[in-house]
Amino acid sequence: MSFTTLPFLILVGASVVLYYVVPKQCQWVLLLAASMVFYCVGGGKTVLYVFYTAATVYTATLALGHWNTLKRNAPKEDKKAITAKYKPHRRAVVAAACLANFVLLYVLKYWNFTADLLQPAVDVLIPGAQIPLSELVLPLGVSFFMFQSVGYVIDVYRDKYQPEKNFLKLLLFVSFFPQMVQGPISRFDALAPQLLAKRSVNYTDLKYGIQLVMWGYFKKLVIADRTAVLVNTVMDDPWSHSGSVLAFAIFFYCIQLYGDFSGGIDITRGVARMFGIDLAENFRQPIFSTSLTDFWRRWHITLGAWMRDYLFYPLSLSKPFGRLGKFTRKHIKGKLGKIIPTSLATFIIYFVIGIWHGANWRYVAFGFWNGAIITMSLLLAPKYVQWKEKLHINEDSRWWHLFQMVRTNILVFFGRYITRAPRFLTAVWMVKETFLHPHWPDLWNGTLMTLGLTGGDFLVIALGVLVLLCAEWYEEKHGSVRAMLETKSPLVQCVAILVPLVVLFCFGVLRADYISSDFIYKQF
């Protein structure tokens, strides 16, 4: 069920009304029922995967919770012995829960890619043999709910909190419907208490929620879906276009992706807010990033935080990395010797983030692109300091800051060639065309008007992006736009709701040949 369909709006509207009508102790049950309806209507068999994940996570965390309690309640002198006694059991259970989910995710998402890779070797070794391909359809939001659930298991393993003993309440945490299309990836201690809270109608929550939902639809329907028309036209047949048109299409893809993903997250957070639930932020003005590392701290924040807490830290502090650190410090003098293990862990994390997006050489290359740049910047950091001193660069100056932002956005821009091109080699060819055969007049000789958009569409996109940039700038400098609106008169607040609503209807929903495309991150 897509966020841009009538059934979704009906489900949200009916759920919000019923949520505040039913007895308070049944409110979480209503959220669970709405989530199940969302899956059954829109996702078909997805509900089975949700149950599978919830069941594995529930069983594992109950066992872990039992051992944690034994340790906690033991006399001080016995704690060490009990910890040692159950350590292998706890490790086995947490590993089993992670494997149960990640192996399934691997089969669903990566098996066919692996089979394609291995088939040539099988052809040589066993002529005629065929590696069976998976025919399972990738369930809606599978990466999101599995990552969220595995994070919960690891947190219980680390004894951060007690496990949920009610299976249905845990099922709600795994399946809360607004965040199932594209996240955010929430933490149990932040989300579960909010899902189970008893609430009365709150005017501010409803108003904030509706404003956020409309802002999200504005980004998605007015900006992203419009830019998608040109992007799809060019990328369906990139070989027929000049380098400048290809670059323009990738530029539009950057706008589309941000409008689509951050718009979807705004809709998610807005819907949750109508139930009084405050979901984690997933974006913080990524356009103002001053480095690629900074970009990944501002873009898809919850995925980055998940990778940091559950992969980067354990990897960096693992024994093999500890041994590597000792080796590099001994044999490579200076800062370089100290940062090699961290740099390697960083490269692995960004590589994993790349392939998290999907089973395709494009995403492998995307991971390599980000990992290589960030790792190089870490390794070269001492040199950068020397160069900056030699060039007398003032790091606090506005111009330096602007240079860093432009440089980062250019790196992100070229990274998007990789993720949007039909194939990796096509992306390489497209970059080559951009530099070698740009044919710049195509940008003003009317070529762009033949790519599916009218002059009016370009104007709407330009104005939409301008509004978006103003809002982003305000939030970067001063904080929440909605909080600022809250200080204004009721009349201004009404206008702030009505104007976007009219814009949405005129330029989003009622567009003559309007066809809403699906959310890009839904496929991940």
Partner 1 sequence: MMEELLAILTEAVPGVDFELETALVDDEILESLDIVTIVSEIKDAFDVEITVDDLIPQNFNSVEAMLALIEARQN
Choices 56-64, 184-192, 324-332, 479-487 (CB under 8 A): range interacting with partner 1: 324-332
Q: Where are the beta strands (DSSP E) in 94-225?
A: none
User: Using the rule CB under 8 A, is 338 a contact of partner 1?
Assistant: yes
User: Using the rule CB under 8 A, is 431 a contact of partner 1?
Assistant: no
Sequence-distant (≥ 6) Cβ neighbours of residue 298 within 8 angstroms = 283, 284, 285, 286, 288, 289
Residue 325 CB, shortest distance to partner 1, in Å, is 5
User: Using the rule CB under 8 A, is 468 a contact of partner 1?
Assistant: no
User: Using the rule CB under 8 A, is 61 a contact of partner 1?
Assistant: no
- Which residue from 346, 370, 434, 516 is in contact with partner 1, where contact means CB under 8 A? 346
User: Using the rule CB under 8 A, is 316 a contact of partner 1?
Assistant: yes
151 touches 61 (CB < 8 A):
no
Please provide residue 481's backbone torsions phi and psi, each rounded to the nearest 5 degrees: -65, -40
181 touches 268 (CB < 8 A):
yes
Residue 404 CB, shortest distance to partner 1, in Å, is 16
CA atoms within 13 A on the CB side of 357: 22
* Subset of 92-111 contacting partner 1 (CB under 8 A): none
Q: Which residues of 394-427 are buried (b: 16+ CB within 10 A; e: fewer)?
A: eeeeeeeeeebbeebeebbeebbbbbbbeebebb
Residue 385 CB, shortest distance to partner 1, in Å, is 9
Burial class (CB in 10 A: 0-12, 13-18, 19+), 20: middle
* Subset of 130-169 contacting partner 1 (CB under 8 A): 158-159
CA-CA-CA-CA dihedral for 191, 356, 341, 372, to nearest 10 = -130
User: Using the rule CB under 8 A, is 312 a contact of partner 1?
Assistant: yes
Choices 120-128, 222-230, 243-251, 319-327 (CB under 8 A): range interacting with partner 1: 319-327
- Determine the Cα–Cα distance for residues 55 and 61; give it in Å rounded to an integer: 10
179 touches 519 (CB < 8 A):
no
Choices 3-11, 76-84, 209-217, 308-316 (CB under 8 A): range interacting with partner 1: 308-316
| H helices, E strands: number in the chain | 23, 0
User: Using the rule CB under 8 A, is 314 a contact of partner 1?
Assistant: yes
How many of the chain's residues bind partner 1 (CB under 8 A)?
Answer: 22
DSSP character at residue 3: T
Choices 143-151, 272-280, 322-330, 452-460 (CB under 8 A): range interacting with partner 1: 322-330
- Which residue from 139, 341, 367, 508 is in contact with partner 1, where contact means CB under 8 A? 341
User: Using the rule CB under 8 A, is 342 a contact of partner 1?
Assistant: yes
User: Using the rule CB under 8 A, is 339 a contact of partner 1?
Assistant: yes
* Subset of 352-391 contacting partner 1 (CB under 8 A): 378
Choices 321-329, 413-421, 464-472, 482-490 (CB under 8 A): range interacting with partner 1: 321-329
Q: Which is nearer to partner 1, 313 or 440 (CB)?
A: 313
244 touches 442 (CB < 8 A):
yes
Q: Which is nearer to partner 1, 7 or 314 (CB)?
A: 314
Please provide residue 487's backbone torsions phi and psi, each rounded to the nearest 5 degrees: -85, -10
313 touches 342 (CB < 8 A):
no
Q: Which is nearer to partner 1, 97 or 271 (CB)?
A: 97
Q: Which is nearer to partner 1, 185 or 378 (CB)?
A: 378
Residue 311 CB, shortest distance to partner 1, in Å, is 10
User: Using the rule CB under 8 A, is 54 a contact of partner 1?
Assistant: no
Nearest-CA neighbor of 123 among 133, 115, 134, 112? 115
Q: Which is nearer to partner 1, 338 or 407 (CB)?
A: 338
Sequence-distant (≥ 6) Cβ neighbours of residue 308 within 8 angstroms = 349
CA 416 to chain centre: 15
Sequence-distant (≥ 6) Cβ neighbours of residue 129 within 8 angstroms = 122, 123
DSSP character at residue 422: S
Residues, the chain, total? 524
Tokens of 143: 């990466």
User: Using the rule CB under 8 A, is 401 a contact of partner 1?
Assistant: no
- Which residue from 24, 118, 168, 313 is in contact with partner 1, where contact means CB under 8 A? 313
* Residue type (1 letter), 154: I
* Subset of 239-298 contacting partner 1 (CB under 8 A): 293, 297
User: Using the rule CB under 8 A, is 79 a contact of partner 1?
Assistant: no
- Which residue from 317, 380, 410, 499 is in contact with partner 1, where contact means CB under 8 A? 317
User: Using the rule CB under 8 A, is 345 a contact of partner 1?
Assistant: yes
Binding site for partner 1 (CB under 8 A): 158-159, 293, 297, 308-309, 312-314, 316-317, 322, 325-326, 329, 338-339, 341-342, 345-346, 378
